[in-house]
Chain A
């Protein structure tokens, strides 16, 4: 109806751009489908029980990624245990305690800067600081602490946002009943912000699982099975680093695609749970 009254050139403009918008929207989807489809197509046949439950053995000439799965879990546990109190604490300070505006803007500027720093720089400085200066050996400890610095901004920002959604009337009510500030935060503010903090943690775990550049020279390339305490100071490749090693240094493309499949499944699970928790938050 509307289009009938348009001049030909305007109609062309309208139709042309509308088509372009549809093309770009579907291109984005197609890219994702292509990438995920190709990874599953190449990787799923090679995700075998043997691959998942053994370690690479030169004697038997077999490849197993159990050590790398464990190293990834070690890294996630270590980094989260440290970053969670630190990040939540920083967010609490920024939203509940800080009175000096200048200080707040300095801390916020620092967190923003940390967000923008590429992971290879974190890896470089992590290596310089934890390994050259402090003197630890390459391992999960140095890698995990490097990751802590890297994901700190994610935790601070998501916690801050969810703390801000807690209505001030809750705080006032609690304070009016005679609660101290810390008591109020512990019993009223934090429980009401827990969903947002959980979402932040899930996002952070996603970043840790997918990180590679920061881990190359901090956690290392080692493919040997270790328990948690040994791995702290012995070279331990995470899943992503193992993918890189198998793909570009060993030419084991099939193993690399199997690892990529596992990483994609993890990414799917992480995204799904983050959006589920997020939806609960909205309610």
Chain B
């Protein structure tokens, strides 16, 4: 009896009427839900499109008015005389990011190696919690601590009139990118097959030699991803460095007050009057920053794709 029922249902699903009836009753709802979820999925795509289109529409006029060469390679940024050249600002963003990478990557990578390969599990867990907390601290809090602790320290150490410098921004940025570098490279290090390490150990290499000469090279694509993510975070950070970098559009120097792409937008938008060239130029800075980020994204995708193929 039971067998017959099952058999009937199987047959029914192919051609039988009962199954068809149930389907037709549910169909409108199913189609509706499918469409609804499809629309939810397309929201992300729509947002990316709107963001790109808006940045181009609002960023291009000022670039065209000032002239692309003058805008990108002009070294003077004075709103009062309508000089809008962002070369110094671009260089500041690049050198600030580079500095943060130079300090942050070695420390972050070493911590990741420590967590993945050397520390005992209990200690690793404690440090892991610390890293997660570092990632959760709001950027204005980093800025505040930098402004109160770091900036005066730099002023005293280098005997400057003000400690709000590129150096302060670099230090704050390198702490801020630590969590993403640590967690991504730790995952990469843990994913290295044990056989690689065992082979190296069997050949007589010490644990440390194995880690540095076998595990780290084997995890290099993951570590590269971590570095690129760090670059992305550093170049896009605004509120922490606005409080420590001094905000004067100088050519970058370790001990000069500087202005980043992000901080230019954040600090000047409030007083640039609507419709002015100044305000449009700030949108153009947003466009330049966006192009930087998109370049990093494309680079990252190529990397991840390579990793998947390998």
> Is A21 a contact partner of B114 (Cβ separation < 8 A)?
yes
Question: Please, how many angstroms separate the alpha-carbon atoms of A112 and B36 in the complex?
Answer: 22
Apart from A10-B209, A28-B127, A28-B178, what are 4 other A-B pairs with CB-CB below 8 Å? A92-B40, A210-B139, A244-B143, A264-B137
Question: Please, how many angstroms separate the alpha-carbon atoms of A251 and B138 in the complex?
Answer: 19
Which residues 145-188 in B have Cβ within 8 Å of A in the complex?
A: 145, 147-149, 175, 178, 182
> Is B148 a contact partner of A29 (Cβ separation < 8 A)?
no
Which residues 225-282 in B have Cβ within 8 Å of A in the complex?
A: 232, 235-239, 242-243, 262, 265-266, 269-270
Closest chain B residue to A89, Cβ basis? B40
> Is B37 a contact partner of A212 (Cβ separation < 8 A)?
no
- Which of the 9-residue segments B61-69, B79-87, B105-113, B190-198 touches chain A? B105-113
Q: Of the candidates A96, A114, A183, which one forms a contact with B47 in the assembled complex, judged by CB atoms under 8 Å apart?
A: A114
Closest Cβ–Cβ distance, residue A221 to chain B (whole Å): 8
> Is A152 a contact partner of B114 (Cβ separation < 8 A)?
no
Helix, strand, loop or mixed for chain A's interface? helix
Find chain B residues with CB under 8 A from A122 CB.
51
Q: Is A59 an interface residue (CB 8 A)?
A: no
Q: Is B42 an interface residue (CB 8 A)?
A: yes
Q: Is A257 an interface residue (CB 8 A)?
A: yes
Find chain B residues with CB under 8 A from A58 CB.
none
- Which of the 9-residue segments A11-19, A44-52, A61-69, A192-200 touches chain B? A11-19
Interface size band for A: 35 or more
Most buried by A among B47, B119, B123, B129: B47
Find chain B residues with CB under 8 A from A39 CB.
141, 144-145
> Is A32 a contact partner of B134 (Cβ separation < 8 A)?
yes
Per-residue CB contact flags for chain A residues 52-92 toward chain B (1 = under 8 Å, else 0) read: 00000000000000000000000000000000011111101
Question: Please, how many angstroms separate the alpha-carbon atoms of A32 and B293 in the complex?
Answer: 28
Q: Is B132 an interface residue (CB 8 A)?
A: yes
Q: Of the candidates A89, A128, A181, A267, which one forms a contact with B36 in the assembled complex, judged by CB atoms under 8 Å apart?
A: A89
Question: Please, how many angstroms separate the alpha-carbon atoms of A264 and B140 in the complex?
Answer: 11
Q: Is B3 an interface residue (CB 8 A)?
A: no
Which residues 49-93 in B have Cβ within 8 Å of A in the complex?
A: 50-51, 54-55, 58
Q: Is B133 an interface residue (CB 8 A)?
A: yes
> Is A129 a contact partner of B50 (Cβ separation < 8 A)?
yes
Q: Is B303 an interface residue (CB 8 A)?
A: no
Per-residue CB contact flags for chain B residues 279-297 toward chain A (1 = under 8 Å, else 0) read: 0000100100110011011
